[in-house]
Amino acid sequence: MAIVLVLFRHGCRVSGAGFASGSFIQNVFANGWIGVDLFFVLSGYLIAKSLFWRLGKGQQLFSWRYFEARILRIVPAYYAVLLLCVIGGFPFFKVSTEGLGQTIIYHGLFLQDYLGANINVVFWSLGVEEKFYILVPFLIIALLKIKTARWQFAVCLGILSLSPIARSTVFALHESTVDYPTFFTKLRSPFHMSLEGFLVGIMVALGQRKKWILPVEIAKPVLLFCFGGLLLWTGSHEFLASINLFDATLQPLVLSVFFGVMLSCCLSLEGSPLPCEPVARVIARLSYALYLVHFPLIPLAFALTAYGGGAAFWCFYFLFSILGAMALHFTVEKPFLKLKDRSGLRADLSSLKTAKVQ
């Protein structure tokens, strides 16, 4: 769901992409950037759950194994696409050569969320994610030192509130109308402006750890209600066509809560049949590779449709994105994922042997 929304967003941004301006479908596609908020919620949940599991196994949070797993999962495919963008590996996709050496360096250090993702715009969220991976063990350790769930959630809410406060302050101090480029660079892209999704995901993991699971008979209608409400809301208007105080301050928070509730419902429905599961599973497996390659493939799809858009553009766009993602997955991502899994298995066996000796 998250990656498909993002693909809709960037495809729809292409001029003449085949939808009437202001139509329901056009608005849903244009608002597909909310898929990144869903990614953040999922990251917060999955990383927190993984860290809780590590502690349950008696492993250290700041061991090399934790950082090795994150590096092998994210960095190789990212560096591969970064290199392809810089050397012109994507037809018709151009990268500015002005200050390119400096740009490559700060992209290599994952600082693009603050300094500008001007090689491949989707890279901004990876800068946010990497900082989260580094800092989240500190937060998990602090949370587990707090004995009551009430105060654990209070700490999470306190940290979560930092981003809306920061965005509202910048918005209030801005002297002119905030356009989308200003919103993105100052109020959206920086790590400290994007904390809500991660914290909501962590709170979902905390709730699961406390075995706070919704009954199936409640989870299903709530999930459908949230999905329907989100669809109607995203189709009602293009969120960031004109940016007001709500857009700048509370909209990411509301979206994160929406996705957090939906994630909680999905956890309650674990084991239930998933519609179109084979297709969904393939897309989910390719989601990271799709995220990395789809944007620089847009110019090729657009050129092959004589810069006209429409149905032909969408067919080429999705075809090239899937083929590019498969190529990246099998040549770069999957080998490093296997290495990550083998390393994790060795670490687990070593921990088991140590436990037996003790």
| pLDDT of 351 | 54
pLDDT at position 350 over 90: no
- Report whether pLDDT(352) > 60: no
Task: State how far the Cα of 163 lies from the Cα of 264, in Å rounded to an integer.
Answer: 23
Give the pTM.
0.92
User: pLDDT averaged over the chain?
Assistant: 90
Which range is least confidently modeled, 49-63, 178-192, 265-279? 49-63
Residues 150-170, mean pLDDT to the nearest whole number: 95
Banded pLDDT at 356 (limits 50, 70, 90): low
Task: Report the range of poorest mean pLDDT among 9-18, 79-88, 144-153, 264-273.
Answer: 9-18
Lowest mean per-residue pLDDT among 63-72, 176-185, 250-259, 341-350: 341-350
**CB neighbours (10 Å) of residue 292?**
26
Tokens 């897309």 sit on residue: 283
Q: What is the pLDDT of residue 346?
A: 61
273/88 Cα distance (integer angstroms) = 43
